[in-house]
Structures are given as structure tokens and as C-alpha cells.
Amino acid sequence: MNRSTLTALTLIAALFSGASHAAEIKLLNVSYDPTRELYQDYNAAFAKYWKAKTGDDVIISASHGGSGKQARAIIDGLEADVATLALAADIDALATKSDLVPANWQTRLKHNSSPYTSTIVFLVRKGNPKNIKDWNDLVKPSVAVITPNPKTSGGARWNYLAAWGYALKHNSNDQAKAQEFVSKLYANVPVLDSGARGSTTTFVERGIGDVLLAWENEAFLAVKELGPDKFDIVAPSLSILAEPPVSVVDKNVDKHGTRKVAEAYLEYLYSPEGQEIAANNFYRPTDEKVAKKYAKQFPKLNLITIDEVFGGWTKAQKTHFADGGVFDQIYAKK
Amino acid sequence: MATQIQRRISTHESVSVTLLLIVVALSYLVLFLGIPLFAVFVQALSKGWELYWKALQEPDAWSAIKLTLLTAAIAVPANLVFGVAAAWAIAKFEFKGKSLLITLIDLPFAVSPVVSGLVYVLLFGAQGWFGPWLQAHDIKLIFAVPGIVLATIFVTFPFIARELIPLMQAQGKEEEEAAVSLGASGWQTFWRVTLPNIKWGLLYGVILCNARAMGEFGAVSVVSGHIRGMTNTMPLHVEILYNEYNFVAAFAVASLLALLALVTLVVKSLVEWQAKRSGEPLHHGA
């Protein structure tokens, strides 16, 4: 039998059998948009580590997209072994809208199950022609702001909440004033992409907008990939501590028999090696030693947390991003 | 060619109007089709042939190419059988609900591809109507290859039927009736009378169907799950590469799709030319 017939047969076989019975272990990591490069590096490192430790080959597949969209896909049957999403609310959805993970998933790993953190910064065009320094510059009428849709994108929700947090602080915690501020900001948004990477492309490739509200890692990556001569990163006076969480998808790993390797995959993220890979991909490490080593790379920022300002993700999600929530009201007005 | 133009001039418009129309049509074509297509190849080859080949040989790109070919290899024959059967039934027989059937065949043209994809998620997704049953039997349709094939079949199924129905209706059923009255069986009538009559139209439908099957983005995007190396077709892979700042690779895969379109067009022209030469109509009234 020649090779192409064999390939065709394998493809047909793959078509009819969902689960593979090959000797090697397969793992599917369903993640959000900007982690592509991080997990490309990390998957290679973990496969090596796992091979050395157990002798087994592990092949890790990845799927990336807007965090909310990815959670939706997992609920609809995308058989992720691990979910590494942009915010806790999206993994919460796996627990509330289906029984894929238990309600207490976030307590299973250190630091609220977030092995790395990030924050929201501004990416502006070289030389900062509109002189954008802080959040209050974004509501000026002449400034076009690029940010994705908070309904589908995790990063966008962090952007939104950081802006809200800033407005609260500068208006002595007046929620109505904060809403007015955020409304003004979204009035300056010409395009709402569905994911963070889409927004980055809109800003850097299509040249739309004066400022991109971006994940810090995404901003660093854009500068690195497309040249430091094109963009500047601006750190606002205040931003939000973003904790992108990770979890094993219990029902799927039990079905696939991959629980052990899936758990090891997430735990290894917390190891010095995993933390170094995160830092090299511009995520802030949670391990103190590694954080110290890379301290120079990240600007010092005044960071608020979602728990202290918004009372946690469940509450923030319900108030701001649920159907008919504050974001819908703001955007309907536009 | 010249005599043709002259003939038309004498019956219709002045030379200046004819020239103007030709110039307008050509510049429109160059501006909206030629230049973008050219740009795809320029961008794909911007860093040389070596990187171009490397981009196409990359395992994920290769798997996307294979998946696209597999999808078309299932969707096109499936729609071929369906299209011929439907066109045959509609053109040669009278039955109740015929106009409803014609309308249904057009449905995929009318609905947005996103809806075509979502329909399958609603039916076969984990939360969908048949989701629990499928899961209990460990059958994966959505976010796996079968879902991609299903969505592609849905989106491309009018192409062949739509091509054949007017053709077969125009041809009428006299020849078949003659064959039957001379003692031919149903199969014999089909193979010896109907099929030779429709072969060019059928080929034309297959070409269009294949082009769309390989190029479909929207519906496939909804049901794919975007797992690299597993459920990415070429159009989806182009988007992923582009989003990863990997422009050379993105345009390399895109150029392959564009090349496919060009080949399709050449084959299509050949079919039209052949059909004309053999004197058999390709379309109703052509």
C-alpha cells in the first residue's frame, strides 16, 4: 500500500472515530487569543519534560480565539482537556452552563488558578502624536480607541473594567459618573473586533485608531514583531491586575483518560521553567524569584484588582456584561 | 472577434460607446480582481521561494491542505449524487411539493454561512438536540472533521442541482420517453440518454461546487473549533497565520487557494469551449 493511500485511509479512519487509540497521549488546550506564542513555546517545553519524566510522548493541540467564544465552544462540545482562558468568568461559565468543571475549580491551583498575570496598557503610534498619557485622554473627542467587544473577548472586559476603575477613583466612587466616562470612551471606538488579536491587527495592520487598549503581553509582542520604530507602549496611572486562569476540564479528561497529564501540564506552568517561558512571552510571572529576575521588563503600575473594586468576576460579569447589562446600555446608546 | 464587434456595432451602439464600455469593464476587473490577486502572490513570495515552500510544508499548513482536499472529496460527490437526483426528479416528473423542493435547494444560497454553521451546532453541539445522544455514543460531529464536512455539504449543495435543473427542464423528456418506449430500463435511459445530454452542465456544476467547498470560510469557522493540525481548513489557516503576524505563510496558503481558483477558471473555460464545440448547451438558453 503506498503512502498516499495510507494517508487517505488514516484520514477516513480519523473521520469516523472521535477518540484516537494511538499510543501517544493527546491533549487539547483551548485558550484565548494572545496566548498563541506563549503556548507554542510552553507546549514544546512540557512535551520534553513529560517525555523525560514518564517516557510518554504527549502531543498538545491548541485552539485560540476570543475567550468568551472559546468557552462557548467548550460548552458546545469542543473537547478541551484544559481551558486556559482570559478570565475566571469564562471558566465559571463551564461550571454554570454545563457540568464540565466543578464550581470550586478556581481553588484547585495556586494564585486563583492563575499561573501568570498581565495587565492592560496602551499601545500608541510612534512618538505618541495624540499625546495619550492616561485614561482621561481616551475620552477626548478627537481620539479613536481600538478595543475588542467585551461580549466575546476577555481582554476587552479587562479594558472596560480598568477604565471603570480609573473613573471611580477620580470621581470619588460615583458609579453614575464612571458609567458616563466609559460611555464616552466607547463612543470613541470605531470598530469592535471579536477578539484581542483581531483588534491588534486592526490597529497595527489596518492602521485604524490612535490607541489600542491591549494586554501588556500583546502590546510587547506587537512591538517586537512589527518593529519598535512603529509603536510606543504607554503605561497609564492606574490599571487592573488581570489574572488569566487555567483549569482542567474534568468531564473531558475523565472521558479521554488524560487527567494525570492534564494536571501535570497546568502544574508545570507554575514551575521555574514554566514561569520563565511566561516571562519571555511578556506575561508577568507569579513566582517571586522569576518575577524579580524579569522585574525590569515590566513597567511598575498601580494595579487595582477585580475583587476589591468589583466584588469578583461573577458580580462584575452579571452587572456589566450580561445581556441587558451596563455595557449593553452603553452600546445601545451609541 | 473583430467581426463580432462589428456586427454588434451595426445593431447597437456607436464605436465610442463600445470602446468606453470595454475600457470601463476591463479597468474594473483589473482594479477589483487583478490587482488584489497579484498582491496575494507578491506578498506570498516577498521573502523568496524558499520561505514560500517552507510555509507550505509546515505540518499545520499541510494538514490544513489535506483536510480541505478531504472535505471537498466528500462534499462534491455527495452533492453530485444529490444534485443529479434532484434535477432529474424536478425536470422529468410532476409531483406534489415540487416548488417547495426547488425553494429548499436554494436555501443555502439565501442564508448566511454563519447560520449554516450554527444550525449544526444547535443540532449536534453538546447542548444541542442530539448532543447528549451523540456524547453517550462517543460520536463527535461538531468541532471535528465530520462537522466541517456537513457544513460544507450544506453550503455547497445548490451548485450542481441549480446548474442542472434549468438545463434538464429545457431539454424536456421526449428523448427519455422515446428510450423507454423502445424498451430501455431506467438505468439505461439515464446512462445512455440523460447523462450524455447533461454532461457539460454537470461538469460545470461540479467545478463551481468544488471551488466553493474548498474556499468556504464562514460556516466551517463556526463548526471547526480551530484546532491546529486537526480541524483547520485552508481558509481558516490563512486567518490564523495572518493573526500571528506570519504574513508570508498566510499569503503562501492564500496563494494556493487563489491558484486553485485560477485552475478552476481555466477548467471552466475549457468546459465551456468544449460544450460549445460539441454543440450541446451548457445552460438553459445558452
In the prediction, which pLDDT does B176 show? Answer: 86
How high does pLDDT run on average in chain B?
87
pLDDT confidence tier of residue A313, bands split at 50, 70 and 90: confident
d(CA A249, CA A93): 12
A81 contact residues in B (CB cutoff 8 A): none
Nearest CA among B173, B186, B164, B149 for reference residue B81: B164
Question: What's the pLDDT score for residue A16?
Answer: 47
B197 or A285, higher pLDDT: A285
Q: Please give the pLDDT value at position A117.
A: 94
B198-253 residue pLDDT tens: 988 898 899 989 999 999 999 999 999 898 888 999 999 998 888 777 888 899 99
Question: Do B145 and A201 make contact, defined as CB atoms within 8 angstroms?
Answer: no
CB distance B225–A78 less than 8 Å? yes
Residues B273-279: contacts with CB under 8 Å, at least 24 apart = B274/B200, B275/B200, B275/B201, B275/B204, B278/B200
Distance CA A227, CA A215 (A): 18
Res A21: pLDDT: 43
Cβ contacts of A15 on chain B, cutoff 8 Å: 70, 145-146, 149
Q: What is the pLDDT of residue B127?
A: 86
Given A11, A28, A64, which is nearest B70 (Cβ)? A11
DSSP of A39-54: HHHHHHHHHHHHHHHH
| Entry field: residues in chain B | 286
DSSP state of A241: -
List the Cα angle A178/A183/A185 in 5-degree steps.
95
Cβ neighbors of B198 (< 8 A, separation 6 or more) are B84, B87, B164, B167, B168, B171
The 10s digit of each residue's pLDDT in A162-216 is 999 999 999 999 999 999 999 999 999 998 988 888 898 889 888 899 999 999 9
CA distance A290 to chain B (A): 27
Tens of pLDDT, residue by residue over A256-280, are 999 999 999 999 999 999 999 999 9
Partners of B229 on chain A (C-beta within 8 Å) are 61
Grid coordinates in use for B20? 468606453
Find the CB nearest A77 among B126, B242, B245.
B126
State how far the Cα of A107 lies from the Cα of A98, in Å rounded to an integer. 19
Residue-wise pLDDT tens digits, A135-155: 999 999 999 999 999 988 888
Residues A136/A138/A142/A146 CA torsion (nearest 10 deg): 180
pLDDT bracket for residue A101 (50, 70, 90) = very high
Nearest neighbour of A76 by CB, restricted to B139, B142, B230: B142
Is the Cβ–Cβ distance between A159 and A167 less than 8 Å? Answer: no
Instruction: Give residues 127 to 166 of B whose Cβ lies within 8 Å of A.
Output: 127-128, 131, 135, 138-140, 142-146, 149
For A28, which residue in chain B has the nearest alpha carbon? B227
Of A241, A194, A232, A228, the C-alpha closest to A212 is: A232
Asked whether the beta carbons of B126 and B74 are under 8 A apart, the reply is: no
Q: What is the pLDDT confidence band of residue B4, given thresholds at 50, 70 and 90?
A: low
The answer on pLDDT for B41 being more than 50 is: yes
- Determine the average pLDDT of the residues in A237-248: 94
Measured CA to CA, the distance from residue A42 to residue A281 in angstroms comes to: 10
d(CA A252, CA B84): 42
Lowest mean pLDDT among A96-100, B106-110, B241-245: B241-245
What is the complex's ipTM, to 2 decimals? 0.74
Pick the more confident residue, B119 or B286. Answer: B119
Q: Could you identify the residue written with the cell 452603553?
A: A330
Q: How far apart are CA A28 and CA A83, in angstroms?
A: 9
Q: Nearest C-alpha of chain B: how many angstroms from A121?
A: 20
> Would you call A37 and B140 a contact, using CB atoms and an 8 Å cutoff?
no
CB A327 within 8 A of CB A320: yes
- Name the residue among A160, A185, A186, A182 with its Cα closest to residue A171: A182
